[in-house]
């Protein structure tokens, strides 16, 4: 029964909530892990989901803690369960949403990993500029990531019709199918134009027609996983970071905009955040800059004498 409920929930996320395939996949992984836990904890609960109670969910979180999961990962998995049980309750599958009464683990505020402007410049000036088809594609991806701050899932589903290079903008379909238009910098436009002129060679002599902007060497749309691998390899050539992923360029995009005086609300809209609190995680990066400005500009910031 639990397996059927999970499938119905994932279908709901995909077809009604219009979540991206990557997001739905994440929910599925979390719920599959919960299913495995129940198999060992109490297999009967797999058949009678209504018997799952708060102690069961707390035991699940305890198991995650024992296996070294950090609070942020635990909070995400609990959020998945809260959404799942809310769906089951609304659909009349269970009489009570027990997950609603389980507290989310306290999270320590983590600082997003980002690259310096110099590192990004080196990345964009060197990676992918080898004169090859794949090099042109990868360079265009990196330029687009940094110019827009878009998510991996958004880039993986990007089609040619969403690009308007003449107006230097791109129309992005974000979470929940929410659309936003992001300006493109000149470097990104140039890189995209160069790639699109070569892109057809991946389709030549093949009975394939794809609207996807980025293709793999077989002429098929480049998946989110494929994009992650290419971007990670590119970043590792330039920077030694604790965490390497395409999100590093998204974080760098937001950080550099704020450091150069961009309005927080504008950055929120560019990133496609629903709540300002999500964007505020970036405000820490301005602390050193603000201290420097304060010391320079405030009449009584430093007193050398009377």
Q: Are 96 and 109 in contact (CB under 8 A)?
A: no
Looking at 48-57, 142-151, 278-287, which range is the least confident one? 278-287
Q: Is 273 a catalytic residue?
A: yes
Compute the mean pLDDT over every residue in the chain, rounded to the nearest whole number: 85
Q: Is 59 a catalytic residue?
A: no
- From the list 187, 190, 157, 186, the residue with the least C-alpha distance to 171 is 157
Residue 21's pLDDT band, with cuts at 50, 70 and 90, is confident
Q: Is 175 a catalytic residue?
A: yes
Q: Which of these is catalytic: 137, 139, 151, 199?
A: 151
* Domain range 2-101, CATH architecture: Orthogonal Bundle (1.10)
Q: Is 247 a catalytic residue?
A: yes
Place of tokens 């009464």: 101
Q: What is the DSSP code (8-state) at residue 259?
A: H
- From the list 279, 280, 283, 261, the residue with the least C-alpha distance to 271 is 279
Place of tokens 């990066």: 285
Domain 2-101 and domain 117-291, same fold? Reply is: no
- Judge whether residue 107 has pLDDT over 60: no
- Judge whether residue 306 has pLDDT over 50: no
Q: Which of these is catalytic: 247, 251, 256, 268?
A: 247
For the stretch 193-226, pLDDT in tens is: 999 998 888 776 555 567 899 998 888 889 999 9
CATH (one of 2.60.120.10, 3.10.20.310, 1.10.443.10, 3.40.50.720) for 117-291: 1.10.443.10
Tokens of 48: 């009678």
| CB neighbourhood size of 71 (10 A) | 16
For the chain, which residues make up each domain, given as ranges?
Answer: 2-101, 117-291
Place of tokens 């035991």: 59
Determine the Cα–Cα distance for residues 114 and 111; give it in Å rounded to an integer.
9
170 phi and psi, to 5 degrees? -140, 140
């Amino acid at each position: 029964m639990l397996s059927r409920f999970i499938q119905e929930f994932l279908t709901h996320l995909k077809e009604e909530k219009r979540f991206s395939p990557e997001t739905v996949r994440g929910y599925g992984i979390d719920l599959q892990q919960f299913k495995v836990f129940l198999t060992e904890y109490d297999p009967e609960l797999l058949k009678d989901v209504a018997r799952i109670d708060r102690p069961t969910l707390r035991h699940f979180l305890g198991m995650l803690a024992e296996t070294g999961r950090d609070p942020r990962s635990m909070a995400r998995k609990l959020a998945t369960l809260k959404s799942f049980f809310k769906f089951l309750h609304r659909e009349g599958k269970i009489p009570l949403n027990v997950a609603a009464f389980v507290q989310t683990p306290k999270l320590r505020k983590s600082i997003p990993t980002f690259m310096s402007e110099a590192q990004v410049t080196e990345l964009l000036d060197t990676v992918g500029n080898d004169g090859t088809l794949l090099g042109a594609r990868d360079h265009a991806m990196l330029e687009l990531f940094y110019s827009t701050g878009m998510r991996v899932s958004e880039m993986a589903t990007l089609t040619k019709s969403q690009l308007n290079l003449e107006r230097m903008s791109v129309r992005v379909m974000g979470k929940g199918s929410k659309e936003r238009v992001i300006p493109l910098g000149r470097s990104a436009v140039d890189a995209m134009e160069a790639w699109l002129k070569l892109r057809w060679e991946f389709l030549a002599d093949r009975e394939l027609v794809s609207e996807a902007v980025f293709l793999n060497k077989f002429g098929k749309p480049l998946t989110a996983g494929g994009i992650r691998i290419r971007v990670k390899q590119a970043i590792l050539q330039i920077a030694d970071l604790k965490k390497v992923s395409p999100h590093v360029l998204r974080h760098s995009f937001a950080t550099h905009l704020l450091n150069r005086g961009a309005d927080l609300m504008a950055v929120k809209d560019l990133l496609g955040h629903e709540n300002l609190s999500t964007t505020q995680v970036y405000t820490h990066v301005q602390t050193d800059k603000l201290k420097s400005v304060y010391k320079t500009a405030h009449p009584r910031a430093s007193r050398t004498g009377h």
